[in-house]
Structure 1
């Protein structure tokens, strides 16, 4: 199974699932918002210029993603004391 990079900001309860190579700097050319009524949340799909899915933004992530995934995600909302 391939590793997938996930970030989670608990302060805003938002997660981002990266579907590109870790070293790739893919830029979103188009964002498609999923119907919040259909998915009972706000989920945005990001596509590159070639139409490939490069990432998924999940708002209200704690109610939509498994706890183990959020616990293992990178946490930009926490900083390390130096």
Structure 2
């Protein structure tokens, strides 16, 4: 799992697999976080496995220590 955080736009992507190939996320499900302060988009592959989660309003939905982590380098 790794997280990419865009502080300027307060968006994060939580990737649950090592790599998501282009076109692998074939189904997206939008969810409003409790309290309405963040929106989540769940990305699934064709087998229904959850690949990642986009978080808009990340500061409201994710722990600060998670957002402050240095992103791993490829």
Say whether the fold is shared (TM-score over 0.5): yes
**Normalised TM-score (structure 1):** 0.74
Q: CA RMSD in A?
A: 1.9
Q: Which has the higher strand share?
A: 2
Structure index of larger Rg: 1
Flag the structure with more relative contact order, 1 or 2, with Cα contacts below 8 A and sequence separation at least 6.
1
- How many residues end up aligned between the 2 structures? 69
Q: Which has the higher helix share?
A: 1
Structure 2 regions of 5+ residues with no counterpart? none
Structure 1 regions of 5+ residues with no counterpart? 75-82
**Normalised TM-score (structure 2):** 0.81
Once superposed, which parts of structure 1, at least 4 consecutive aligned residues long, lie more than 3 Å away? none
